[in-house]
Amino acid sequence: MAGSLFSGGAVGAVMQEVLRTAIEAIDKCRDFKPTLENNIDTLEALTPLVEDIKQYSKVLDRSTSHVEKLENEIEAGKELVKKCSKFGWWRFLSFPYYHDKLHARDSKLVRRLSVDMQGQLVRDSMEILVKVREILEILCRECVGVGKYEKLLRGLSGVPERPVFIVGLDESLKKLKIELIKGGDVSVLLLTGLGGSGKSTLAKMLCWDEQVKGKFGENIFFITVSKNPILMTIAQTLFEHCGRRVPEFQSDEDAINRLGLLLRQVGVGGSPTLLVLDDVWPGSEALVEKFKFQMKDYKILVTSRVAFPRFGNVFHLKPLYHDDAASLFHHFAQLKNVNNSYMPDENLVQEIVKGCKGSPLALEVIGGSLCQQPFEVWQMMKDRLKSQSILESNVDLLSRLQNSLDILEGEFSVKEKECFMDLGLFPEDQRIHVPALIDMWTELHKLNEDGTKAMNIFHNLINKNLVNLIVTRKVAMDTDMYYNNHFLMQHDLLRELAIVQSSQEPFEQRERLMIDLTGDNPPEWCARQNQQGIISRMLSFLPIRWTKQKRKQVAARILSISTDENFTSDWCNLLQPDEAEVLLLNIRSSKFTLPEFTAKMSKLKVLIATNYSFHPSELNKFELFEYLPDLKRIRLEKVSLPHLCEFKSLQKLSLHMCNTRQAFESSRIEISDALPSLMELNIDYSNDLVKLPPGLCKITTLKKLSITNCHNLSALPQEIGKLKNLEVLRLNSCSDLVAMPESVGSLHNLRRLDISDCISLIQLPKDIGNLNSLEKLYMFGCTRLSGLPYSVINFEGLDHLIYVICDEEVAALWENYTELQNLKIETSKTDISLKWLGSM
């Protein structure tokens, strides 16, 4: 037995293992001192670096937990190094053991740096980019007077988006480009053609052309002039495009002088400058002359339906050749789509293309209206176009576009046609905010409250190329009936078509009534009425009731009043719109006094007041709307609210880019008494909103509370939990919001909670798991959240799914709760870049 245990082979193996261990120990003894020195070098290099990171984190009010963990590792390393440095040669038997400890400590330090700190760096980068985005929003809003997205949509110099599908303009582009690239002093080039012929499209193509950009660089400015241009507004727009603070000019002369100085600064050193004045109407030639500053290599490109005689360099844009017209028509009619229910005969297609007479707009609209239509509709369109005269004027083009509506009355529902006509009530060349239309149509056409039916109408109009949809920012709520980033734009000829459609009846009998007020000049109907009043007063022998000037009674359901910046008079008070259900106020003046007749609009349901100037407008006599029994919705954009008024029946209040502090903090009446029936409150891009009035929490009827892009909002009312009927709470992009009240956990009817891009939010309410009706929780960009309350485990007991929509970083906070059966985490990667600056 003993012999077998100590056989020669076993002894040899044991000796080899002993020898290997001895050699490793000797190697570690030799390597002990170099390893110790390496550790010392690493610790000496990291110590000041970590101290700087810690100090910067404190200055920036950021979490130092990740730095403190690294700091603890360094301190432990220092203790070990200090101990090992005292070893003399007689401790050589301990060298292998401490060599391993030194190596392990160094590896742990490296791992902490390469994993934890790298992860924190990615997190910091994301947070910094979000913060930069918020700062850009504030700068754009404060410095130039418009939201970030409006500026970015047009490009950094105001150039609209690059056209996507273009045919037949290459030759015109080449000729016009040659003239633009030529050197020399200031010169004006005129591009003229019928409405809808592609003038604006060609101008955009020029601005995006590589050769043109190579010559003019960033000094390309694009301005839409339109029918009633205001010189000071154009100058303010150019200041905005140059990234300068938008001034308040004293006069047109002041505006031109300061604009000339600005453009010379932009073109310093002889840099070429291109100014595009798009859609210049007859009578505006003198305005173009004012922009002819004496600068080297300065070009002005004017697009107009009229060939102005005083401009020598005139380029006429002709209708498209047949082949190009056919290609464009095929595109918009989607004739290459194999899923079409009906594919028309090519001869029929060619006849309709001929009927459009080479007009790109007619081809687009008529092609879109025929898409997916049966044979009978195509045949009817061909017959109608064949009976029309040759396209020689905009009137004829309007009649052709009229066909795209008339021929579809069987398929094109009455509501959709009416909604198309409603678009003409808004100012020319201005974006129409989709929520404003939803408010109108919900009351006028009895659509559902969430806007889904309205969006269906939008998409039908878009598919027929009657309007363009612009989404300035794609966010998660786009799938949640949240349309604050959606706008519509309409070609001015299509707007004219909508106006023509609405003007078929006599003035007093129109369902939609538009009134444009310019300066102190009364509209034509008002001037006639004044003359009649004067004559009647001169005939003093008539009964007294004949001599009184009567108000003009109208039957319009929608009244749209537009003013310019010089409007001061009160001509509109001569109206008596007793039947109006919707009042649109399109304001451009710094102060606007509401007409006296508004106090008698007993059927008014919707008020939409939009200020299109650069600075907030003051609304005077807002109290005239008090006590109107049917007023349910008020939407204000870029106005200063002087105070709260009593709107006993108001159900929805929307404030976009409004000054609210005076109304909320200095009001003579508590908000709960002023708005006792309020069900929805939306506040977006309010610069001066720091806190919400506490009385808001007493409005128990409130179902939706949306506070978005309010970067100075720092706190919510502690009593918010009293809003027992609240179903939606949106706090998107409130970058200064640090905490949410604990009472949020008492909102047992809450179905939607959005805290996306609340980058200062440190923690969630500890009882958030008690939100037993919660269905969707949006958490994109919550970069400072360090964890979740344990109460989220309560979601397991609910009988419905809860969707958490977030980015990958926030999703990591939910890793410990993935076993919850009814919890679904939906993530999307965050693009850590600034590409969004130029693509929106």
Torsion of CA 314, 315, 319, 325, to 10 degrees: -160
Residue 313, pLDDT above cutoff 60: yes
Specify the pLDDT at position 742: 92
Tokens 């170099």 found at: 34
Dihedrals phi, psi of 714, to nearest 5 degrees: -110, -15
Q: Domains along the chain?
A: 13-133 (no CATH), 152-316 (3.40.50.300), 323-495 (no CATH), 526-629 (no CATH), 641-840 (3.80.10.10)
Those residues whose C-beta lies under 8 Å from the C-beta of residue 804, and which sit 6 or more positions away, are: 777, 779, 810, 811, 814, 823, 824, 825, 826
Better pLDDT: 536 or 284: 284
Percentage of the chain lying above the pLDDT 90 cut: 14
Average pLDDT, integer, range 403-419? 63
187-196, 388-397, 619-628, 795-804: least confident range: 388-397
The 3-state secondary structure of 107-164 reads: HHHHHHHHHHHHHHHHHHHHHHHHHHHHHHHHHHHHHHCCCHHHHHHHCCCCCCCCCC
pLDDT at 793 over 60: yes
Q: Is 60 exceeded by the pLDDT of residue 110?
A: yes
Handedness of CA 326, 201, 207, 485 (dihedral sign): negative
pLDDT tens string 461-500: 877 777 888 887 665 544 567 888 888 888 877 888 888 8
Structure tokens at 664: 């909320």
For 633-672, write each residue's pLDDT tens digit: 999 999 888 778 888 899 999 999 888 888 887 777 889 8
**How far is Cα 394 from Cα 98, in angstroms, rounded to an integer?**
92
pLDDT score, position 697: 92
Integer Cα distance of 295 and 198 in angstroms: 29
Query: What pLDDT shows up at residue 784?
Result: 87
The pLDDT of residue 839 is 33
Q: Which of 42-51, 69-78, 175-184, 475-484 has the lowest mean pLDDT?
A: 475-484
Lookup result for tokens 């031109």: 256
| pLDDT higher than threshold 90 for residue 724 | yes
Label residue 16 by pLDDT band (50, 70, 90): low
Instruction: Report CA-CA distances (Å) from 800 to 88, 122, 583, 751, 775.
Output: 70, 35, 42, 11, 8
pLDDT of residue 832: 40
Provide the whole-model pTM: 0.66
For β-strands 776-778 and 273-280, DSSP reports them as unpaired
Which residues 6+ apart lie within 8 Å of 813 measured at CB? 785, 787, 788
When pLDDT is cut at 50, 70 and 90, the band that residue 728 belongs to is very high
- Interatomic CA distance for residues 555 and 512, integer angstroms: 9
| Choice between 801 and 620, residue whose per-residue pLDDT is larger | 801
Task: Pick 622 or 567 by higher pLDDT.
Answer: 622
The string over 370-398, giving b where at least 16 C-beta atoms fall within 10 Å of a residue's C-beta and e elsewhere, is beebeeebbebbbebbeeeeebeeeebbb
Tokens of 627: 């006590």
Residue with more model confidence, 10 or 288: 288
Give the model's confidence band at 626: pLDDT under 50 very low, under 70 low, under 90 confident, else very high: confident
In the numeric block, which tokens belong to residue 727?
């179903």
More confident residue, 745 or 543: 745
Least confident range from 82-86, 612-616, 634-638, 644-648: namely 82-86
pLDDT at 525 over 80: no
DSSP alpha helices (H): ranges in 472-605? 492-502, 524-538, 544-547
The DSSP H or E segment spanning 826 is strand 823-828
CA dihedral 340, 344, 345, 349 (to 10 degrees): -120
d(CA 159, CA 359): 24
Side-chain half-sphere of 689: how many Cα atoms within 13 Å? 27
Q: Are 266 and 239 in contact (CB under 8 A)?
A: no
The mean pLDDT of 259-275, rounded to a whole number, is 81
* Spatial contact of 677 and 462, defined as CB atoms under 8 Å apart: no
pLDDT of residue 38: 73
Structure confidence at residue 700 (pLDDT):
92
Give the burial class of 404: count Cβ atoms within 10 A of its Cβ; 0-12 exposed, 13-18 middle, 19 or more buried: buried
Question: Has residue 127 got a pLDDT over 70?
Answer: no
Residue 117: phi and psi, rounded to 5, are: -70, -35
What does the alpha-carbon distance between residue 56 and residue 316 come to, in Å, rounded to a whole number?
Answer: 62
Look at residue 750 and give its three-state secondary structure: coil
Assign 632 a pLDDT band (cuts: 50, 70, 90).
Answer: very high
Report the length, in residues, of the chain. 840
Quick: pLDDT tens for 325-365: 999 999 888 887 656 667 888 888 898 888 888 888 888 88
> What was the pLDDT predicted at 105?
73
* Range 115-133 average pLDDT: 55
* Cα 48 to Cα 41: distance, rounded to the nearest angstrom: 12
Measure Cα distances from 282 to 232, 289, 566, 830 in Å. Answer: 19, 14, 21, 49
What is the mean pLDDT of the segment spanning 736-755?
92
Tell me the pLDDT of the chain averaged across its residues: 78
Rounded average pLDDT over 661-685: 87
Please write the tens of the pLDDT for every residue from 689-710.
Answer: 888 888 899 999 999 999 998 9
Beta-strand relationship, 486-489 and 468-471: antiparallel
Q: What pLDDT score does 616 carry?
A: 82
Q: Tell me how far apart the alpha carbons of residues 239 and 366 are, in angstroms, rounded to a whole number.
A: 39
Overall average pLDDT of the 360-380 stretch: 84
- φ, ψ dihedrals at 125, nearest 5°: -60, -45
Q: What is the pLDDT of residue 10?
A: 58
What lies within 8 Å, CB to CB, of 309 at 6+ separation is none
What Å distances lie between residue 322 and 221, 355, 359, 742, CA to CA? 33, 11, 10, 69
- Interstrand relation of 558-563 and 512-517 (parallel, antiparallel or unpaired): parallel
In which band, very low, low, confident or very high, does the pLDDT at 4 lie, cut at 50, 70 and 90? very low
Contacts of 237 (CB under 8 A, 6+ apart): 158, 223
Among 4-18, 237-251, 596-610, 662-676, name the one with the lowest average pLDDT: 4-18
CA angle 773, 775, 776 (to 5 degrees): 135
Q: State the burial class of residue 218 (Cβ atoms within 10 Å of its Cβ: 0-12, 13-18, 19+).
A: middle
Cβ atoms within 10 Å of 262's Cβ, excluding its own? 17
